[in-house]
Structure 1
Amino acid sequence: MVKAIRVHHPGGPEALQLEEVDLPAPGPGEVQIRHRAIGVNFIDIYRRTGAYPAQYPFIPGHEGAGQIVAVGEGVTDFEEGDRVAYVGALGGYSEARNIAADSVIHLPKSVSYEQGAVVMLKGLTAQYLLRRTFRVKKGHRVLVHAGAGGVGQLLCQWADALGAKVIATVGSPDKAEIALKAGARDAILYRTEKFEERVKEITKGKLCDVVYDGVGRATFPASLDCLAPFGLFVSFGSASGPIESFDIGLLTQKGSLFATRPSLFDHIAKRRDYEDMAEDMFHAIKRGHLTIEPPQSFPLAEAAQVHAALESRQTAGSMVLIP
């Protein structure tokens, strides 16, 4: 038996219940991981509320890091004692879990368990956004919404290291300082300023090549007004709620724009892509292009409180649960 957080029905943070569950031996192609740290992400809130469907009851959490304590039949790339991290199927909010070996990546010794538990989903998200969805290069003008958030800070850091001119939107002066420290050249206080007007001022009317939007409803369609003709709008999250359906002709009206709604899980569906993306991310960390700040740590039993803080958008940076 292991302790785990389970959700029996969609709801608020109170739907997260600490329970004891059975943990069988890993099956063929699986490994069993004893968690040392568990990543907390907005996708966990989407699962809990039912915005992203799941079969009840379920254990939330798509990201974690720890040690392999058992391997199933047919697993050859991992052995007991290996330090690993993963982004994969539900089941992360637990002391230990079984997971497909194809979902697991060896964790470099230079990366702590706590860092590993927050860099897989957020770091690989930054990787596919900056290196695959739109290949950011020197001189590109980039707008990052929620630049002080977990993914936002990584986007600011990495885009700046790639030579881009980064503009971030944030909710407070304190968060502006975080985004600027991460690599943004300018920070816009979206609660008191119209960010689309400020972007036009900052760029002297040239606007941006790409907008990375993990906020959703609150920043759309104004994000389109921040893009130069043929620019790309990238929606990768819905922290303020989903973007409602819109007339695709709006993209023509705003300058023959492109728009996409990519998913990390599509990008890592093939093992080779997953490995290549992780290698690129860890190299970026080694080169100093990404700095993984120590995340805020909370006991697994406090998952509900952590969700409440994250959902209210009162947090900055990353958070982990410690079993």
Structure 2
Amino acid sequence: MKAIQFTQTGGPDVLALVDLPTPTPKAGEALVRHTAIGINYIDTYHRSGLYPVPLPYVPGNEGAGVVEAVGEGVTVVKPGQRVGYTTHPGSYAEYNTVPADRLVPIPDGLTDQQAAAALLQGMTAQYLAYTTYPIRPGDTVLIHAGAGGVGLLLTQIARQRGARVITTVSTEEKAQLSRQHGADEVILYTQTDFADEIRRLTGGQGVHVVYDSVGQSTFEGSLNSLRPLGAMVSFGNASGAVPPFAPAMLSAKGSLMLTRPKLNDYILTRQALLERAGMVFNWVASGELSLLIQPPYALADAAQAHRDLEGRGTTGKLLLLP
């Protein structure tokens, strides 16, 4: 089978198209033939070495396709069934073996590309808004990278929850896109100090919660954007990892709360996985949640996809097609 693999960490050029044996499902596993593969920012962390992985490594944590075969004892899926998955490595390939209890059936109302685009980012936006900081009607929230994949989905869900949504983006084109997906106010962080603008937009009060996927370059400004007792949700490192800091800073800025969540912990059980995925799939199928999917890349063009993603020139969801 064709797969993308890297044998050393570094820039996008370390990604190479290789031939690997098609895997055989073990007990409890299913073999999935991919029809669409999700690209996520965490893939660049694995490739760069920010999040260490065993080498050689096939990147990717999200895919959709058809069950080709199942291992011993598998009853939750069957050959020929359309399924999606996330938080399991090795998706940048034509095939992958996945624990069967991590597979989510794709409903008839969704395409494989929609499923591959919705699972990781959609469930991330869902748990952020429903569980990490449960948004309440009347809350004011700040979402960084408002035109990115998670940002566009989280904006829509926050509006569904009754929040006033403020986002940050880098260009006017992205600002327009963010507004189209429900943002009440959009800050161009390339032109304005976003923390100062937040104070102006909130009458000096600050926001109830900041959802920050950017990391190093926005961390302090995000804390400065919060009202007393506000919540800082740091869930990404697009600009680099947040450096160590003294927890006393949180009390000095108003007894703030800080958390660094990850999706895996919110879908530990199959029941939790199916509930969150089902909610996202239902929203997409009903039109309550709009997906912005960019023209897909061929599997062989994974390196270019990473360049485009890290260059901040993309919006919405990026996919690979095997």
- Give the TM-score normalised by structure 1: 0.98
Counterpart-to-counterpart distance in 2, 1:120 and 1:283: 12
What corresponds to 1:155 in structure 2?
154
Q: CA deviation at 1:207?
A: 1.4
What corresponds to 1:42 in structure 2?
41
What corresponds to 1:174 in structure 2?
173
Q: CA deviation at 1:88?
A: 2.6
Counterpart-to-counterpart distance in 2, 1:239 and 1:294: 20
Q: CA deviation at 1:292?
A: 1.6
Deviations 1:38-69 (A, max 9, x none): 00011000000111111100100000101111
CA contact (8 A) 1:105 1:275 kept: yes
CA contact (8 A) 1:87 1:120 kept: yes
CA contact (8 A) 1:115 1:293 kept: no
Q: CA deviation at 1:314?
A: 1.3
Question: What is the identity, as a one-letter code, of the residue corresponding to 1:121?
Answer: L
What corresponds to 2:81 in structure 1?
82
Q: Secondary structure at the match of 1:218?
A: coil
Counterpart-to-counterpart distance in 1, 2:282 and 2:21: 38
Q: Secondary structure at the match of 1:296?
A: coil
Question: What is the identity, as a one-letter code, of the residue corresponding to 1:271?
Answer: R
What corresponds to 1:243 in structure 2?
242
Deviations 1:67-112 (A, max 9, x none): 1111111110111111111003210000111111121101112111
Question: What is the identity, as a one-letter code, of the residue corresponding to 2:311?
Answer: S
Deviations 1:214-249 (A, max 9, x none): 000110201011111111000000000011011111
Question: What is the identity, as a one-letter code, of the residue corresponding to 1:10?
Answer: T
What corresponds to 2:264 in structure 1?
265
Provide the aligned C-alpha RMSD in A: 1.0
Counterpart-to-counterpart distance in 1, 2:244 and 2:9: 24
CA contact (8 A) 2:293 2:316 kept: no
What corresponds to 1:307 in structure 2?
306
Deviations 1:166-194 (A, max 9, x none): 00000000000011111110000001100
Question: What is the identity, as a one-letter code, of the residue corresponding to 1:95?
Answer: E
Question: What is the identity, as a one-letter code, of the residue corresponding to 2:150?
Answer: V
Counterpart-to-counterpart distance in 2, 1:164 and 1:296: 31
CA contact (8 A) 1:115 1:295 kept: no
Counterpart-to-counterpart distance in 2, 1:147 and 1:51: 23
Counterpart-to-counterpart distance in 1, 2:311 and 2:179: 22
Aligned CA distance change for structure 1 residues 293 and 316 (closer, same or farther; 3 Å): closer
What corresponds to 1:124 in structure 2?
123
What corresponds to 2:320 in structure 1?
321
Q: CA deviation at 1:287?
A: 4.5
Question: What is the identity, as a one-letter code, of the residue corresponding to 1:170?
Answer: V
Question: What is the identity, as a one-letter code, of the residue corresponding to 2:53?
Answer: A
- Farther-moved stretch of structure 1 (112-121 vs 13-22): 112-121
Q: Secondary structure at the match of 1:155?
A: helix
CA contact (8 A) 1:166 1:183 kept: yes
What corresponds to 2:219 in structure 1?
220
- Farther-moved stretch of structure 1 (199-208 vs 61-70): 199-208
Q: CA deviation at 1:206?
A: 2.4
Question: What is the identity, as a one-letter code, of the residue corresponding to 1:213?
Answer: D
Question: What is the identity, as a one-letter code, of the residue corresponding to 1:80?
Answer: P
Give structure 1 regions of 4+ aligned residues with deviation exceeding 4 angstroms. Answer: none
Q: Secondary structure at the match of 1:56?
A: coil
- Farther-moved stretch of structure 1 (231-240 vs 104-113): 104-113
Counterpart-to-counterpart distance in 2, 1:217 and 1:5: 29
Counterpart-to-counterpart distance in 2, 1:140 and 1:232: 12
1:137 aligns with 2:116: no
What corresponds to 2:201 in structure 1?
202
Counterpart-to-counterpart distance in 2, 1:24 and 1:147: 38
Aligned 1:91-102 pairs, distance under 5 A: 91-102=90-101
Counterpart-to-counterpart distance in 1, 2:207 and 2:286: 27
Deviations 1:241-262 (A, max 9, x none): 0110111111111110000000
Question: What is the identity, as a one-letter code, of the residue corresponding to 1:20?
Answer: D
Point out where structure 2 has 5 or more consecutive residues left out of the alignment. Answer: none
Q: Secondary structure at the match of 1:59?
A: coil
- Farther-moved stretch of structure 1 (23-32 vs 57-66): 23-32
Q: Secondary structure at the match of 1:84?
A: strand
Counterpart-to-counterpart distance in 1, 2:143 and 2:319: 23
What corresponds to 1:18 in structure 2?
17
Q: Secondary structure at the match of 2:296?
A: strand
Counterpart-to-counterpart distance in 1, 2:288 and 2:221: 30
Question: What is the identity, as a one-letter code, of the residue corresponding to 1:37?
Answer: A
Question: What is the identity, as a one-letter code, of the residue corresponding to 1:150?
Answer: G
Counterpart-to-counterpart distance in 2, 1:81 and 1:95: 16
Counterpart-to-counterpart distance in 1, 2:34 and 2:291: 19
CA contact (8 A) 2:23 2:95 kept: no
